[in-house]
Structure 1
């Protein structure tokens, strides 16, 4: 009997704890959902200072005392000479932006703010580097993103785009706007094509005696449908629309890179950076890191980022998503290997 009493008391404590935990979490999430979205703010970070700190730390670790003493004297001398020079002109700047695009290209809203900020302060001798990563997405979203990049060139600033991983389809539409387009050796480049697909559940509805009605005004207001019965006329019109978008895509790329054989590369294929350079899709094979280092310390280098402060609910959601992603990737890596 005493054992049952102790066991019952333990179970009651566990139930109480779980119930209290659920109530607390529900309250926090409820309050968080009522919070207004955070207001965005601009973050400008000196990458030159970061590189300077890294260089200084490495020297302090690797050099002997004699070399360090000599280095300190040289740095002191350089600092005095720089402070006495009143006629020294400001060093040209390199502004670095990061664009990691999703299917709906929602990140273009942040890109717009970042570019606007740069255009308000940049001079003609300054340069903008965009580290771009995207496998493409919706036409109108990436069309707007490409137009945002065009604003930089329209103001007379040099625009360099570096692709370390992938710039395909809509991602390449953005990338080809650059005055100078860089890629790493095995970055995926290209996919100048258009894709559209959708399922059709009409047969399933008929099998279960479910009727579906759709009314339109205009012959081609709806070409293909998910639930209705599609016909050859609708399919032909849908195919025609895709071909027209492809032509616009090809014309846009040709205007940005006129020396490239557009018919050879506008097949929907993609290539690694090395092959892409041979085809004229990119200008040089180099990583964004090496390109930034090539301008240090001749230029003042700044990272420009527009961020929006997340509320509690968004942070909880992101944390859960990150945990799930790590678990999935760990499991997947054990199941197979990939290049």
Structure 2
């Protein structure tokens, strides 16, 4: 009996807590939905030379004894002094490093456009922009906008290098081709210069269960293929025609920025690994982005730009509340396990 009383008390407390949590979450959801506005963001600038220097110095400290390390530091200080005497620090070139990690909607475009807008206020033709790009592609219009942002760099006469460590396919390659130089890791995936669209059709299933579905349009080709309606051969032909037009625009775009390509040979929708892509002139060099940037760090000042969106108060409260709820529920379930 004592166990049942304790168990009932525990369940009552649990139910009360869950109800309270649901009320709080509902209130937070209401606040987030009311007059929701973007909180803006902030440009973060990090000097990358210090990162590479620190890595080297840590390794030296671990490998050398005190006497060797002291002699090396003395030698390095002397070399830096000679270098500064021969060339002022501000005379060194600048490399602006950007990152783009693409999803199907190219959601990172918003940050990319702000980063590019910022660097174009200072960068000159003596500088370089390096984009570390990772994307398997996605929506045509979304990646078209992302590629247009990169085109602003080319139009300003600033050298653009695109580094690909894993994948730049379809819309990802649409962005990559704008680089004056494309650097790829040996086994990165590149290409997929093609267009694809697919959708299920359940019209026969609906008919089997005597369910009617009607599509009303104004305009002959307002709707070509549908999920629920009965598709026609004429609709399929128009849909394919639209895909072919989009594919031709894609090919023309790539050929404009990579005239060295035999575009009809590579615009088949196929993908190639970096080694094979080099032979087809889809890329210019085989290197990882780490290798490329560490080399440039010896010659220029590297600055990593990242535009970070500020989270609104409601979003911060929501994240904190979600964490608190998760921790509370984990604690409750662990207690329940002990009672059993």
State TM-score, norm by structure 2: 0.85
Matches within 5 A, 1:308-319: 308-311=309-312, 313=315, 316=319
Matched, 1:70 2:75: no
The question of whether the paired residues in 2 share the 8 Å contact of 1:93 and 1:126 is answered with: yes
Closer/same/farther in 2, CA of residues 258 and 82 from structure 1, 3 Å limit = closer
For 1:175 and 1:36, the matched residues in 2 are separated by 33
Deviation track 1:279-306 (CA, whole Å, cap 9, x = no partner) reads: 1111111000000011122100011111
- Secondary structure of 1:121's partner? coil
How many residues align structurally? 320
Q: Deviation string for 1:219-270 (max 9, x for gaps)? A: 2222112222111111111111111111111111112111221111111100
Determine the structure 2 residue equivalent to 1:53: 54
Q: Where does residue 12 of structure 2 map in the other structure?
A: 12
Map of 2:120 onto structure 1 = 119
Partner of 2:208: 207
Between the aligned partners of 2:194 and 2:230, the Cα distance in structure 1 is 27
- Write the distance in 2 (CA, Å) between the matches of 1:22 and 1:145: 40
Q: Is the 8 A contact 1:29 1:313 kept in 2?
A: no
Aligned with 1:295: secondary structure?
Answer: helix
Q: Tell me how far 1:176 sits from its aligned partner.
A: 0.8
Alignment of 1:63-102 (within 5 A): 63-77=64-78, 89-102=90-103
Q: 1:17 offset after TM fit, Å?
A: 4.3
Q: 1:186 maps to which residue? A: 187
Between the aligned partners of 2:147 and 2:112, the Cα distance in structure 1 is 10
The answer to which of 59-68 and 90-99 deviates more is 59-68
Indicate how the Cα distance of structure 1 residues 77 and 223 shifts in structure 2: closer, same or farther if over 3 A, else same.
Answer: same
Task: Give the superposition deviation at 1:75.
Answer: 4.3
Question: Does 1:272 pair with 2:273?
Answer: yes
Q: Structure 2: any 5+ residue segments left out of the alignment?
A: 327-340
- Structure 1 distance, partners of 2:4, 2:217, is 70
**Distance between the aligned counterparts of 1:86 and 1:299, measured in 2?**
12
**How far, CA to CA, are the matches of 1:147 and 1:97 in structure 2?**
15
Report the RMSD for the aligned CA atoms in angstroms.
2.6
Aligned to 1:328: none
- Cross-structure match for 1:145: 146
Q: 1:261 to 1:57 in 2, by over 3 A?
A: same
Distance in 1 between the 2:177 and 2:7 partners? Answer: 70
User: What's the CA shift for 1:69?
Assistant: 1.5
Question: Structure 1 CA distance, aligned partners of 2:32 and 2:300?
Answer: 43
Q: Following the alignment from structure 1 to structure 2, what is the Cα–Cα distance between the partners of residues 177 and 253?
A: 8
Is the partner of 2:132 in helix, strand or coil? strand
Q: Distance in 1 between matches of 2:8 and 2:216?
A: 63
2:170 is aligned to 169
In 2, Cα distance between equivalents of 1:33 and 1:229: 38
Q: Does residue 1:257 correspond to 2:290, yes or no?
A: no
Give the Å deviation of 1:45.
Answer: 0.7
Q: Secondary structure at the match of 2:121?
A: helix
Residue aligning to 2:226: 225
Between 1:81-90 and 1:282-291, the stretch displaced more is: 81-90
Tell me if the contact between 1:199 and 1:226 (Cα under 8 Å) persists in the aligned partners: yes
Matched with 1:38 is: 39
Q: Secondary structure at the match of 2:115?
A: helix
